[in-house]
Each structure stands twice: as C-alpha cells, then as structure tokens.
Structure 1
Amino acid sequence: MSIASSIKVDESSGITYLNIENDFACAQVSLYGGHVLSYVPKKDNKERLWLSPHAVKTGEKPIRGGIPVCWPWFSDDHGREKGELPSHGFLRSQVWKLTSSQDTSEGTEIVITPSFTRADGFEYDCDVSLTVFVGETLTVTLQTVNKGLVPFTFNTALHTYFEVENIANVQLEGLIGDYKDKTNNWAIKSTPADYKIEQETDRIHLDAAKSVIINENGDALTRVNSSGHDSIVVWNPWQGAASISDMDAFGYKQMICVETACTQGYSLSPEERHTLTQIIHPV
C-alpha cells in the first residue's frame, strides 16, 4: 500500500506515528491507541489539542490527551466491578494499522483499524474503523459495523482534550437541558447559562448538542460539531489533576474535554452500522 505524500512515518519507543502536513494544517496520529495527538491549522498556527507533558508514550498505558477512542464502553460502564476491565474499553491500548490514505484538494484522509474488536467484556463480531480527515477542519469518524448474527449494545466516545491558555477564561456555548453530575453522585442538574469551569467537572449532558463553541477571553476559539451521539461529556479534573500520575498538578488550567459520546447504550442489529463523528472547526 502506498502512503499519501503528505504523511511522514516516524517511530519512537516502539510507537509508530503518522505526521501529516498539507496546505491547511499539521497533525499527528499515533497508531498506538488509534489516537490523534495534535492538530494545528495553518490559518492561525494554534494547537487545538492538549497533550499532557507527562503522557506515557511507550505503549504501556493509554496516552493522556489528544483524542482517545472510547469503545465499546464509556468510563467503567461495563457491567463488572470497577478496575476489572480497562476504563473506556480496549481500543485505546492496542496497536492499530493504517489501511488507506489519500491526499485531496481539501486535505488528507487516513483510515486506521484496530488489531482486534472482540475481547473480555465484549464477545461480539464487528468491524471498527477510524477515519481522520486533516484540512481546514479536523474530522474524526469512528464507525462500528455489526458483522455477527445477533444484535449488541455498546457505548463509545471521542474523548477530546482541547488546549486553552487558561481555564479561568474559558466559557462554553451551545449546551442546554439537563446533565448528570458524576461529582455529585450522578445528580441531575440544569446546564448553567453562563457555562464556566470553576471546580472539578465531570458531566454527561443528555441533550446531544450538535455544536458547542469553546470561547476564551470572550472570543470564539474552536467550534465542536458532533453527530451520531446521544451525549456531550464535559470534563476537567481541576485540582484532582495532582493525583493523576501522567498529568501535571496544574495541567488542568490548560485543558478542557468536550467529548462526542454515546453513553446511554446504542443497539446495533446484524449488518447495521453506527457512525460517530466529531468535527473541530478553528474559529
């Protein structure tokens, strides 16, 4: 298979990286975890994805930051005791492979697939692929196809970490309705009209907003468009970052997660497919 000319392949500490540069943007994808690590549009040369400076990039554990792929469950919602199965599923801790790539007049497209999709906790036959398009926007699409004879139910998310200068100056726009607050025993609360992050935040927004804008210092920085989802998850560990081994104690000030997710159980019949898409628009 020939590789698109905009892609340079690199390897470090046993991990293979796809470094993409075209007329519109630069990006980096790790084949360990099927993980987008960086996206820098050339219109303003601002990094949109946050990557922890303490991220472990040796293949020993999932990489902290970028766009982790959560599948076939979200968080520890796998029906077992917490810790018995890997949090957020098993795709983000395996080696993926590049199956196709192409350059177009609008950017670069790659398709990658995981080594396996059947493991402890998910005993079903299916195909999974991640399509990443790097152009004036970054489009990430996770597709699941049921290849078996029985239906199954799964959850999934694109757990995107966005980089900001200072979380104190960040405001989210576009979220409405109720959310489930993990920090308060999953209490149902109303989304604030003035949406700022001022404490530990771990919320599943049940109104599946199609567009969320990340504002900083009163200006729009990034618009996040979503489809195929039933929830938007917002996460910032706040001072709890100090207890996260692969995150700086003050790293929470430079990031916010706005995640395109299915958290309420999506059922897929034989030969049916589900497509989860997140589009990152520099504003």
Structure 2
Amino acid sequence: MSPVNSISLSESNGLTFLEIDNNKATAKVSLFGGHVLSFVPKLDGKERLWVSPHAYLNGERPIRGGVPVCWPWFSDDHGQEKGALPAHGFLRTQVWKLVDSQDTEEGTSITLRPSFTRAQGFEYDCNVTLQLIIGDTLTMSLITENTGTVPFKYNCALHSYFHVDHINHTELQGIDGDYKDKLADWQIKPSPTPYTITGETDRIHLSAVKNTTIEVEKSAFTDVKSEGNDSLVVWNPWLGAASISDMDPFGYKHMICVETSLTQGKTLEPGESHALTQVVVPR
C-alpha cells in the first residue's frame, strides 16, 4: 500500500525504511525486523533511541539498537539447547509489511505485520501486529492474537535501546522489587537504590513495572511507560561491548536498555489477543 504524506520510503543495502516527518516528531522504521530505529521529538530535537554505529543494516543479522521485536520467546528461553534456535525469536530477522498508515491529530499511525508467525519452535496459528504512533510520544504496541483452536504460551519484548549522554551520569527511577540476575546464575536480588549502572548489567525485574524515568545529569530525560507486561528488563554490556562484533567498545557509555517484557509466560486461549505496549515520553 502507499503510505500517507508524513511517510517517505528510502532504500539502502537492500533494506527498505519508512522515514516519518510530521509536525510533532521525526522517526525511522526498518521493514527488516519491524524495527524502530529513531525517534526525535520536535519539542527538543533530541534523539531518544540509540543504534550502534556498527549495526548491520543489510539484512545479514538483527539490527543492534533501536527497538528490536522479541517474539515468541525472550533470549534463549525456547525449551531447546542454547543456540539451537535464534535468540529472541524469529520476527526480528524477517521483512515486515506495511498494512496501514494514517495521519491523525496524535501523529502518524503505522501498522506492520511480519511475513510469517509459524516456524521451528513455535508452530501455532496466530496473527502478530506492531502498531506505532509517532507524535509527541512514541507508542509501540505488539499485539498477538490466537487464531487457532488450541491455547499456546509465548514470551515477547520491546527490546528498547535508549540514548543517554553518558551512562555514568544516568539513573533509573520507578523500578523496585526483586530481579533475576543473569550474571549471577539467576540469583534473586533486590533492586538497587539509587538505580545507577556501574558495570555489566543483565536483569529481569519480576514485577510489572509501569513507569520508569531515565534521568541524565539529575534531570528527567525520558519516561518509559509499560502496559501488558509482567516484567522489565534492564541491560548494559559495559566492557563486554568490546566482544560484541556490531558494537563499539565504548558504545555502552551512551545507551541503556529498558525493555517492556513478557518473560514469565503468557497463555492465550483460542480467540484471545494480548497487547504489549511501550510509550516513550520525552521530558
């Protein structure tokens, strides 16, 4: 379909991108992966998302940065040996289709769907839709609908990489309760206070955190609002970035992942649907 006036199409290295420019914000979305790459509100002209300068933007592998779509499992939680199936599922490495776009008072509305939702590790009938609204805020809703005759269980996440001026001057507000620490053999630990990042961090917070604020230099920069989640993931590779091929060794200084997630298993009965939503609110 032809997109609305606020959307233009661009191509590079075989990938197609949606370039959004309206009176509220600019944004960029890759159809490879259904992947939001940029969100710049015109309120202050500051980029809210971080993309690695070494990200593969040619379809060879998932894009490092922005907002990868993880579905129907998170990380390697697919019930098979690690590496047997792609980490974070198979939606972020396929080409999505633009099925609808509209210019509204809220901004630019975009609806995307992946090419397929059945593959090794998940062989159920369902529809998956990513709905985006680019305006004063960035709203992303990942909707899963069971169109089959049997229930199924799945996990998913909006794996958002947020830009910060410097991780040493960044603090997260609004996160409490316990988390599972991947770096300590999944030990259960309490959330730190204050919540600063001082080393490699890979945490699954086990409560449905709804409002998180990313503060930079003691000032609120971005609010992250979550709905339909059962957990919140916080990740920064720190010095481990040097071993990640598509990341600058010092890239960790300018990003923090705050991921609206389902990691504890969501069951959908036939005919049911569920929306995992993250809203990025500039401050």
Is the shorter-chain TM-score for this pair beyond 0.5, marking a shared fold?
A: yes
User: 1:106 Cα shift?
Assistant: 2.0
Residue 282 of structure 2 is matched in structure 1 by: 282
CA–CA distance in 2 between the matches of 1:53 and 1:102? Answer: 31
User: 1:3 Cα shift?
Assistant: 1.5
Residue 5 of structure 2 is matched in structure 1 by: 5
Matched residues, number: 283
Residue 100 of structure 1 is matched in structure 2 by: 100
Residue 260 of structure 1 is matched in structure 2 by: 260
CA–CA distance in 2 between the matches of 1:73 and 1:169? Answer: 33
Residue 246 of structure 2 is matched in structure 1 by: 246
Per-residue displacement from partner, 1:158-191 (whole Å, max 9, x unpaired)?
A: 0000000100000000001100000100000000
Contact 2:106 2:133 in 1 (8 A): no
Per-residue displacement from partner, 1:129-160 (whole Å, max 9, x unpaired)?
A: 00010000000000000000000000000000
Q: CA RMSD in A?
A: 0.5
Structure 2, unmatched stretches of 5+, are none
Residue 65 of structure 2 is matched in structure 1 by: 65
- Kindly indicate whether residue 188 of structure 2 is the aligned counterpart of residue 188 of structure 1: yes
CA–CA distance in 1 between the matches of 2:131 and 2:278? Answer: 11
User: Could you tell me which amino acid in structure 1 is paired with residue 85 of structure 2?
Assistant: L
CA–CA distance in 2 between the matches of 1:122 and 1:240? Answer: 31
CA–CA distance in 1 between the matches of 2:254 and 2:168? Answer: 9
Partner of 1:257, secondary structure, is: strand
Partner of 2:239, secondary structure, is: helix
Residue 141 of structure 2 is matched in structure 1 by: 141
Moved more, 250-259 or 2-11: 2-11
- 1:122-137 mapped onto 2 (5 Å cutoff): 122-137=122-137
- 1:1-283 mapped onto 2 (5 Å cutoff): 1-283=1-283
User: 1:2 Cα shift?
Assistant: 3.3
Contact 2:164 2:256 in 1 (8 A): yes
Contact 2:236 2:256 in 1 (8 A): yes
CA–CA distance in 2 between the matches of 1:147 and 1:47? Answer: 38
User: 1:274 Cα shift?
Assistant: 0.7
User: 1:207 Cα shift?
Assistant: 1.4
CA–CA distance in 2 between the matches of 1:113 and 1:121? Answer: 19
CA–CA distance in 2 between the matches of 1:209 and 1:221? Answer: 18
Structure 1, unmatched stretches of 5+, are none
Partner of 1:261, secondary structure, is: strand
TM-score when normalising by structure 1: 0.99
Partner of 1:253, secondary structure, is: helix
Partner of 1:242, secondary structure, is: helix
CA–CA distance in 2 between the matches of 1:54 and 1:193? Answer: 33
Partner of 1:168, secondary structure, is: helix
User: Could you tell me which amino acid in structure 2 is paired with residue 56 of structure 1?
Assistant: Y
TM-score when normalising by structure 2: 0.99
